Every structure is written in C-alpha cells, then in structure tokens.
Structure 1
Amino acid sequence: METHGYERVEFNQQPDIFIINTCSVTDNADKKCRKIVREAQKINPDGYVAILGCYAQLKPKEISEIPGVDAVLGAAEKFRLHEIMSTFEKVPTGQPAQVFNSPIEEAVDYHAAYSLNDRTRTFLKVQDGCDYPCAYCTIPLARGKSRSDTVANVVKAAREIAERGVKEIVLTGVNIGDFGLVDGQRQETFFDLVRALDEVDGIERFRISSIEPNLLTDEIIAFVAQSKRFVPHFHVPLQSGSNRVLGLMRRRYKRELYVDRVQKIKELMPHACIGVDVIVGHPGETETEFKETYLFLNELPISYLHVFTYSERPNTTALTIKPVVPGHLRAERSKMLHILSDKKRRAFYDSQVGRDATVLFEEDIENGRMQGFTENYVRVVAQYDPLLINETLPVHMTSVNAEGLMEVTELEPVLEHH
C-alpha cells in the first residue's frame, strides 16, 4: 500500500481505510473480527473496511454480511489488495460487501514478507501453507498447499534486514520444517536454509519459530548446537502425550519420537529452551489420556507450554470423532496445563541462575527498567540505559524476581564502534 502512496496510521487515528487481517485457528478469531469491525465503525463511520486472511478465505459470505464491511479478500487475493480495490468506495448501507475469493487450490503463489515494526527483532516468513491434514485444523483449507521461498531469496531478505540494524530474525511459516517445496517439488530443505543463513553477517541471532517434531532432524539439532547465529531455543508442537489421541488427531509421529527429539536437544544443548504446543479436550480424549499427557509433559525437560483449548472448526474431521469433551472439562484441563507451564518455566529460569548469557535489550521500558531475552529465551530485566537498546550484552543471571523475570548483573559498558 505504501508503494502506492498510502500512509499507515494507527487504528485509533481515524484512518480512511481499515485493513483487518484475520486468523481462524480458534473460534475466537471469528468473534474478534466482528468486534473489531464495530470498533472501526466507531472510530470512523465513513472508513472503508476490508477483511482478509484465513477467516476471510473460510467464511467469505458470513463476513460479507457483517454490517460495515466493504470487501472480503481470500488467500490468493489479499496480496493484490490495491489492484483489486483501487477505488476504495464504500458499499451502500444495507448491501453485502464485495467478495473476492477464489478456491484455496488457486492460492499457489509464494509471497515473501517480513515485519518491520520493531528494530530489535524481525519475523521473516520463509514458507506458507500446509499439506498435513490434522483432524482439528483448518489451516490447509485457509492457506492452501505447502510452498516456499528459495534459499537465495531468504538470504537476500536477511541481508536487507541486517542493513536496517535489526539484530535478531525469527524464521516463521505455517509448517517451516517443510521448507523447500516449489511447485510441489522438493528443491531445497530447511537444513539447507539454516546453513545458508548462519553465514549472514550483521544478524546476531536466528530463532526458529515452531517446527514439527518429525521434521526436526538430528542434523538440524546438531547444526544449531555448534552454530554461530542460531540460538538454542526450539518450539516443537506436541498436541497430545497420548499415542491414541495423536492417532485421532492424525499427527505424523508418536510420543516416543517426541521424547527422542527433546533428549537430543538437551544432550547437545543442556541449557536449550524448549517450548511445546498442546491441545486439551480434543474429541475422543478421555480423562485417562489427558492424565497421560499431563504426566508425559511433567517428566520432560521442557521450558514452557502454549496450551490451546480444542474448538470445533467447520469442515474438519475432528467433528466426526466421538465422544465430544464437555466445555467445563476442556477448561479444567487447560487450567491444569497452564499451572504446569508456570511450574516448568519457573524451574527452567531457576536452572539458569548463576549462568552467564547474552541479552538483546528491547525498547520495552517500564518503571525505569528495560527488558530483553537471552539467547535461550529467558526474559531479563535491568536498569534502563538508552545506550543498551538493541545491543546484545554479556550478563550474569543472579535471581528470578517476584514477577518471574531474571535479574542480572555485570552489564558491560557499550564499546564505541569505530
């Protein structure tokens, strides 16, 4: 949009055009979409409202009937926003929005992207879409087939990001371990990408956002362990610690493989941070199987959990699985795992006290203190010093404070760069 002369303004600054990008991983995304359209109308009743993203691909008709929405763009159309909507004329009151939404099979192009709003850390997309038909998930329906950028293009983007002074890049995608598919053919691998990015000067840290356990190979783990720039932090979705439930979910591994991946990481990088995604209340999950998941996670040397409460998504095979777990049990199970996550994070932070690390400080200043993350994802707090923002500095981790943040000492003075 900026290349066409538009200027980005904050949501509350009365924009002429509201572009609302939607998720649809959980049922909540749909409710959020309606709420934000209402907010936009309060801020500028004459503002043009376009909805795009996953929810727009899955439920275009439903969105087109939300009062105040002018246009709905599906997965293949959202990157052609300006071309499709060149006039941005509001739809007359009482009429449904214009819908531009082709079948998901037509979303085959790869569009490179990276975030620019934070000068410390950038999210660099390397892959899109997913070929895994997990029972609970709408992403293949919303994002289409797995497709990727090339190693050369990603390296070029990383160099551009380095020139902007950004120190850390988080590699993202829908299923990044599947990187390397171009026109349905495997041309390169995620390991090829990791090796190439490790040579990019100017970027101090690369972080892998989330990678399926069956795609996290020994060679990737071994490479990260001795890498110059890849940090010892992995986020590996598990979803369930019960093999029967993993089967119902149509996941591509068993819990034994997951144990093997965690052990491999910890063997080569004892201080690595390992985050885990887990779903509670999936259809067919019994109390016994939930407890199996709980005990499985409790015994693993992991660092934190992202807990998702199962929510019914249209056109997914999970809807055919019985029995359905009642809402109150889903909430109860979620609460138990959130408490376990807090325990795990605390134990991980406690295990880091007394160690030296490097911290990349961010412009996140509160009560005269600033925060940042160590390479292995421990959130650190220190006295605010403007010279230290966007600098990686050696620190000594001393104690975990009442807020659960790591206190540090021995901040080295910033050396002048000549």
Structure 2
Amino acid sequence: MIDTSIFQDKTAVYYTLGCKLNFSETSTIGKTLKEAGVRTARKGEKADICVINTCSVTEVADKKCRQAIHRFRKQHPDAFIVVTGCYAQLKPDQVAEIEGVDVVLGAEQKKDLLKHLGDLHKHDKGEAVASSFKDIRSFAPSCSRGDRTRYFLKVQDGCDYFCSYCTIPLARGRSRNGTIASMVEQAEQAAADGGKEIVLTGVNIGDFGRTTGESFFELVKALDKVQGIERYRISSIEPNLLTDEIIEYVSKSRSFMPHFHIPLQSGSDEVLKLMRRRYDTELFAGKIRKIKELMPDAFIGVDVIVGTRGETDEYFEKAYEFIQGLDVSQLHVFSYSERPNTQALNIDYVVTPEVKHQRSQRLLALSDEKTKAFYAKRIGETMTVLMEKPKAGAPMHGFTDNYIRVEVESKPKLDNHLVKVCLGEFNEDETALKGTIIE
C-alpha cells in the first residue's frame, strides 16, 4: 500500500508529445496523481512534479523530448521530473543522463508511477526503470477527456507487425488489450460523465482481441449499444484489418461515424514490400472503394511516409499517381526518419533530405487540394455538429459526423451539445467552413 500523504497539496505539470494514445495515457497519469492528492499547477506556478510523456517516432521527436525536459527543468527548477513514453522505453539510460531527470519509466512501469515517486526528493542522478520489450505484458486501461469534448478510449496497446522502418513494437511491446466488457464499462462511465463522443485509440487497434480471444468487430458492435454515447470514431486501423463486415456495419451503425483513418505509408507496391507492410495497393484501393460505395460522404484520412530507404524517383512518382487517384479527404505526410535497430537500415538506396522535403511538399499540396474539395461539396448543406469549448477570443467550432470542421458564433453554453448547422463558405484561412446555427 502506497502512503499518499506525501502527495497532499503537491502540484504537477504534464507535457505530452506524439499520438492520441500518449495524450490518453497522460490524462490517466494525471487522474492517478489527482486521486493521490496532487493538483495541476496553475499557470506561472512552480510545480513539485513534472511528468513528460515522450514520443520516438522520428529523430525530431527525440529532439523535442530533450528540449521539453530542458525547458521544464528551467521553468520548475525544484520539481521532481518523471520521463516516460516511447523515448523513455527505447533509450532509458540516455534519458536518465539528462540533467534534472529523476526517474525514467518504461512502458511496463508507467502504470505504477506513484510507486516510483518515492518521497519526491530529487536524485543526484536519474534512475532508469524499464523492462525489455519482450517483458512488456500488462495492459493499462485509459479513457480520458483531457481538455476536449471528445473522450479517448484506449482499446489496445503494442504491435506484432515489425514493419522495417518502425520501432513501435520495441517501444510498446507485443499486441495486447483489455476485455470487451471492460471497454464497455469505461464507455458507460464516459457517458455518465456527460461524454457524447469517444475516439478509439491504440497502436494497432484492428488487432484487438489477441489476448482475450475476442475481435475488433465484436468490440465495435458492443460499444454501439452503449446509451448516451452519440459518436464513435476509429482513430487508425490497418487496411488489412479493416474488414468488409466492419465497413458494412459502420455504414448502418447508430453511433460509429463515417470517418476512417487508414495508414497507406506508400502508394508503391515495391516500397510497401520493402516496408514489410501486409497489403498492396490493390487491397488498399479496394477498401477505399468499399467505403465510398456504402458511405459516399465518408471522411478518409491517410498516412503516407516519404523518403524511406529504397524509394527511388520512379517509385515515388508511381506512389504519387496512385494517391492522386484515391477518393480520400486528407493526407498525413511524414518524412522518413532512420530509427536504430530497424530492418530498413539494411536497404541501400538513401533519399536525401532535400528530396524528402520536395516530396513532402507535393503531397501536402495534394492533401490541401483534396480536403478543400471534400469541404466544398458540403457547402449549403445542414449537418449536425458537436460543439467544442472555444479558446479565448476564438470562434466556437465543432465537427460534423464526417469530420468537417465548422466555425460558428461563440456560444459557450453549446459546449458538448449536438446542434444543427447550415454550412457556409470557408473561413479566412480555409481550415473550416463557417456555419449558421439553426434554432
């Protein structure tokens, strides 16, 4: 039993880098500390505890993590600094060497954060506590709201795929998950707390059920029955795991939105093979056609990596042409970053930083074109929007079921309410459509 008296009236700050899953887990860490008596530090207040949840998807991510640690050490010089997340798991000893760091917690240890805080006295040297990725076995549940209207429900963690460019399996361990019953219980609690929308998050969520003998499709059907939750969104699902039965179910579902996020990574079959992905462009294109056949207005976001080892000019042009022909709504473009201990390092052909940048800019321009075209088709329509609390001085905004961002006149009382809105023209920076609330 942990004596929490030491934490009474202590303050904490939190900083998260990376994916939605990280944000969800940081929120859960914050909740754990709050229950132990720790409150979130006010703006400008010196904190007693700093928790930094890191990402390591690229070298730039690693650099941002180090910068964040240095920044928080300066802002909160006497704080007990805890570093966790993917960078902490992959390079625990390196992170522990950073001045000011007290404890580094790996993927298996972060759920027991309270145990590693001790008496909050700072260490002369950082302590690294991290298991080998083979020993990361536990699943830490997380359903958090954070500062947004949407809740994020962690349904799965880890990955068994070992794509040639990726260190996520090393950072998060093997694929594992909680039970459907536990997910339903968390969704019911979110509904009881007033939540109306939940985003399903994980590392490879389509692989849900590997440790419980269940399936992602069964999870979708069970969550759809939870009263009070009006909307679910599937954050990201591998194309080979997005089955036709899931697509067909979503098209008729009460609460699963016509919104998909599907990683493509490359539109070249040759590069997909080098990446050790588990599908080809024909399968991917078939999934897009199936979605659009059943849900013509569905929003489809696609992840693409440019400049991987082996991506010749010819392969990129082939990929660009393929992506250009896809009926998708947005591209999330990433420049390849070499990661230690990955198979991609054995591929000879290396793309220069300048060429990576050029390719990235071309795809970003294509994404902008596709998103604006998707939005423009809906101008003049009346759609239901879940409104979100605006930032000070900013117009209120929210999203339609198919993920069109809409701005309206600020009415804070509408926060977390579903309202009918007539969609008008683009806003000034063309990131949203202006809307008129229909009383």
Q: Once superposed, what is the RMSD of the aligned Cα atoms?
A: 1.3
Unaligned runs of 5+ in 1: 414-418
Q: Is the 8 A contact 1:23 1:53 kept in 2?
A: yes
2:420 equivalent in structure 1: 394
What secondary structure does 2:318 align onto?
helix
Q: Is the 8 A contact 1:128 1:143 kept in 2?
A: yes
Supply the AA of the counterpart residue of 2:143: Y
Q: Is the 8 A contact 1:19 1:50 kept in 2?
A: yes
Q: Distance in 2 between matches of 1:190 and 1:403?
A: 38
Structure 1 position 127 matched with structure 2 position 127: no
Structure 1 position 70 matched with structure 2 position 96: no
1:307 equivalent in structure 2: 333
Find the partner of 1:318 among 341, 344, 362.
Answer: 344
1:84 equivalent in structure 2: 116
CA deviation profile, 1:368-398 (whole Å, cap 9, x unmatched)? 6211110100000111122322111122223
CA deviation profile, 1:269-294 (whole Å, cap 9, x unmatched)? 00000000000000000111111111
2:224 equivalent in structure 1: 198
What secondary structure does 2:161 align onto?
coil
Q: Distance in 2 between matches of 1:366 and 1:43?
A: 24
1:143 equivalent in structure 2: 172
Q: Distance in 2 between matches of 1:264 and 1:398?
A: 29
2:143 equivalent in structure 1: 114
Q: TM-score, normalised by structure 1?
A: 0.95
Structure 1 position 41 matched with structure 2 position 58: no
Q: Is the 8 A contact 1:304 1:344 kept in 2?
A: yes
Structure 1 position 270 matched with structure 2 position 302: no
Q: Distance in 2 between matches of 1:368 and 1:210?
A: 29
Instruction: Report deviation, 1:355.
Output: 2.3
Instruction: Report deviation, 1:43.
Output: 1.3
Q: Distance in 1 between matches of 2:148 and 2:379?
A: 28
Q: Distance in 2 between matches of 1:232 and 1:368?
A: 28
Ranges of 4+ aligned residues in structure 1 off by more than 6 Å: none
Q: Is the 8 A contact 1:18 1:47 kept in 2?
A: yes
1:406 equivalent in structure 2: 433
2:279 equivalent in structure 1: 253
CA deviation profile, 1:309-345 (whole Å, cap 9, x unmatched)? 0001000011111111111111111111111111110
Q: Is the 8 A contact 1:176 1:190 kept in 2?
A: yes
Supply the AA of the counterpart residue of 1:5: G
Q: Distance in 1 between matches of 2:185 and 2:148?
A: 18
Q: Is the 8 A contact 2:103 2:116 kept in 1?
A: no
Structure 1 position 57 matched with structure 2 position 84: no
* Number of equivalenced pairs: 406
Structure 2 vs 1, CA of residues 4 and 25 (structure 1 numbering), >3 Å: closer, same or farther?
Answer: same
Q: TM-score, normalised by structure 2?
A: 0.90
Indicate the larger mover: 30-39 or 202-211. Answer: 30-39
Indicate the larger mover: 190-199 or 39-48. Answer: 39-48
What secondary structure does 2:52 align onto?
strand
Structure 1 position 163 matched with structure 2 position 192: yes
Find the partner of 2:400 among 361, 368, 374.
Answer: 374
Instruction: Report deviation, 1:65.
Output: 1.1
What secondary structure does 2:221 align onto?
helix
Indicate the larger mover: 14-23 or 275-284. Answer: 14-23
Percent identity reads 51
Structure 2 vs 1, CA of residues 11 and 256 (structure 1 numbering), >3 Å: closer, same or farther?
Answer: farther
CA deviation profile, 1:58-80 (whole Å, cap 9, x unmatched)? 00111111111111111111111
